[in-house]
């Protein structure tokens, strides 16, 4: 299941602003950061992790409209929805022609939120993703180690299992090894067999772990590295507490969308994806844009993996959205007005307004390289 992304922020940046300056009559993007790293990442020095802030403000009459379909602060706000745990993965590989590439999938046009947008594979964490049974099929990381990385008491490994399951369901790629430690290859008759396995997992007639057990595999959780943590803003019709991961694509497997929740898949250079978004060829929303901008600064998948491995703690970022006569603002912890920021309405009628806000802010979040 693809996670619903509602302005849930940005991937870690790399030591300096992504933008030299903002476009006139558009949006101001101001970013500040402090560095936190266990070791120096290749070429890029220390890897940005701990904190940064992003403020998006309109500058002039040609920017975001002030009403957004009449969306306004709720006078009697309901308690915010409790975010559901979720995980997503940026699967990367190296290409001789275009450098680093990342796997993206296109959401079904009938999706409740921003149908047709290009996102990274991911979805909600299920109960079956955690517990002793799931842990027994994992290689390269214990639940204790995973929980420490995520800052939870226990059950952290479920996020790793969930994102591997979602990657298999949506894109047909399974990061797993044989009991002897050989990387799983999906070619020939093995590929055909796993196509059938995937169909039974997607139609819920079998569990993901049943397939792992039948094939005598272990999940390669050690190759999946924690990257970022974002929480959907209060007021959204759906909310997720999402952990972002990065991983290197297996060599002898081929991505294929499920033709249901996602209807296309593509290996794409991050800069090419951003350019196509600017040109109106593909739709990409705010957090995906930020992740693509971060990935684009690496020259290889290995360089990205090394940076993720050496990164220290990952902060939880809960953006807040304000709407006023001045336009739309996205506030992060530490920004002026963050604590006072009001919520948008939580009733179902606000869903369309939220979607429109996401689309308009996303359109302004990807300026041309020269501006």
CATH number at residue 252: 3.90.79.10
For residue 332, tell me if it sits in a domain: no
Place of tokens 């952990």: 243
For residue 207, tell me if it sits in a domain: yes
For residue 348, tell me if it sits in a domain: no
pLDDT (tens digit, 9 = 90+) per residue, 214-247? 999 999 999 999 988 888 887 777 888 999 999 9
The SS3 assignment for 99 reads strand
Q: Using CA atoms, how far apart are residues 46 and 12, in angstroms rounded to an integer?
A: 12
178-212 b/e (C-beta count within 10 Å ≥ 16 → b): eeeeeebebeeeeeeebeebbeebbeeeebbbebb
pTM: 0.76
Residue 112: pLDDT above 90?
Answer: no
Please answer whether residues 156 and 149 qualify as being in contact, where contact means their C-beta atoms are separated by less than 8 angstroms: yes
pLDDT of residue 371: 52
> What is the number of other CB atoms lying within 10 angstroms of the CB of residue 73?
14
**Please, which pLDDT band fits residue 313 given cuts at 50, 70 and 90?**
confident
Residue 354: pLDDT above 70?
Answer: no
Instruction: Show the DSSP H helices in the chain as ranges.
Output: 132-136, 143-150, 157-171, 188-202, 208-214, 270-278, 286-295, 301-310, 351-364
pLDDT of residue 127: 93
Q: How many domains does the chain have?
A: 1
CA distance to 55, 102, 202, 295, per residue, from 261 (Å): 32, 19, 10, 25
**Please, which pLDDT band fits residue 207 given cuts at 50, 70 and 90?**
very high
For residue 70, tell me if it sits in a domain: no
Per the DSSP assignment, residues forming a β-bridge with 41 are: 45
Q: What is the rounded average pLDDT of the residues 87-110? A: 95
CA within 13 Å, CB half, 340: 3
Residue 367: pLDDT above 90?
Answer: no
Q: Using CA atoms, how far apart are residues 212 and 219, in angstroms rounded to an integer?
A: 8
Residue 29: pLDDT above 60?
Answer: no
**Please, which pLDDT band fits residue 249 given cuts at 50, 70 and 90?**
very high
Least confident residue range of 127-136, 139-148, 330-339:
330-339
pLDDT of residue 38: 31
For residue 191, tell me if it sits in a domain: yes
| Helix, strand, coil percent values for the chain (each to nearest 5) | 25, 25, 45
Between the CA atoms of 19, 307, 276 and 121, what dihedral angle is there, to the nearest 10 degrees? -130
Please answer whether residues 266 and 257 qualify as being in contact, where contact means their C-beta atoms are separated by less than 8 angstroms: no
For residue 296, tell me if it sits in a domain: yes
Domain hosting residue 295, numbered range: 77-314
Please answer whether residues 315 and 13 qualify as being in contact, where contact means their C-beta atoms are separated by less than 8 angstroms: no
For residue 244, tell me if it sits in a domain: yes
**Please, which pLDDT band fits residue 10 given cuts at 50, 70 and 90?**
very low
pLDDT of residue 232: 83
Residue 94: pLDDT above 70?
Answer: yes
Instruction: Single out the residue of 105, 127, 129 nearest to residue 117, CA to CA.
Output: 105
Secondary structure letter of residue 253 according to DSSP? -
For residue 218, tell me if it sits in a domain: yes
Residue 173: pLDDT above 90?
Answer: yes
286-295 and 270-278 helices cross at what angle (nearest 10)?
Answer: 140
Q: Using CA atoms, how far apart are residues 76 and 89, in angstroms rounded to an integer?
A: 37
> Token pair for residue 221?
């959780």
The burial of 339, by beta-carbon neighbours within 10 Å (0-12 exposed, 13-18 middle, 19 or more buried), is given as exposed
pLDDT of residue 33: 27
């Amino acid at each position: 299941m693809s996670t619903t992304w509602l302005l849930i922020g940005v991937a870690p940046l790399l030591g300096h602003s992504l933008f030299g300056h903002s476009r006139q009559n558009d949006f101001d993007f101001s970013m500040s950061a402090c560095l936190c790293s266990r070791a120096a990442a290749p070429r890029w020095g220390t890897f940005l992790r701990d904190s940064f802030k992003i403020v998006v403000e309109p500058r002039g009459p040609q920017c975001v409209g002030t009403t957004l379909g009449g969306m306004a602060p709720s006078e009697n706000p309901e308690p915010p929805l409790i975010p559901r745990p979720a995980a997503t993965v940026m699967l990367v590989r190296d290409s001789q022609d275009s450098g680093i590439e990342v796997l993206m999938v296109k959401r079904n046009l009938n999706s409740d939120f921003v149908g047709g947008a290009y996102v990274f594979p991911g979805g909600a964490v299920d109960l079956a993703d955690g517990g002793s049974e799931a842990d027994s099929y994992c290689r390269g990381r214990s639940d204790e180690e995973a929980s420490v990385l995520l800052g939870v008491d226990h059950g952290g490994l479920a996020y790793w299992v969930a994102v591997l399951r979602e990657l298999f369901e949506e894109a047909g790629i399974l990061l797993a090894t044989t009991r002897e430690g050989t990387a799983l290859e999906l070619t020939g008759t093995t590929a055909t067999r796993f196509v059938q396995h995937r169909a039974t997992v997607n139609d819920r007639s079998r569990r993901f772990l049943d397939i792992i057990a039948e094939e005598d595999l272990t999940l390669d959780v050690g190759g999946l590295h924690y990257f970022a943590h974002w929480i959907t803003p209060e007021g959204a019709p759906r909310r997720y507490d999402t952990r972002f991961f990065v991983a290197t694509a297996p060599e002898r497997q081929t991505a294929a969308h499920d033709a249901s929740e996602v209807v296309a898949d593509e290996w794409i250079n991050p800069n090419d994806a951003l350019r196509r978004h600017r040109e109106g060829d593909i739709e990409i929303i705010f957090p995906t844009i930020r992740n693509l901008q971060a990935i684009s600064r690496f020259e290889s998948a290995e360089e990205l993996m090394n940076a993720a491995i050496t990164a220290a703690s990952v902060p939880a970022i809960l953006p807040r959205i304000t709407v006023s006569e001045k336009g739309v603002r996205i506030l992060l912890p530490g920004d002026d007005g963050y604590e006072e920021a009001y919520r948008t309405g939580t009733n179902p009628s606000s869903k369309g307004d939220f979607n429109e806000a996401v689309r308009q802010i996303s359109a302004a979040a990807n300026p041309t390289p020269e501006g």
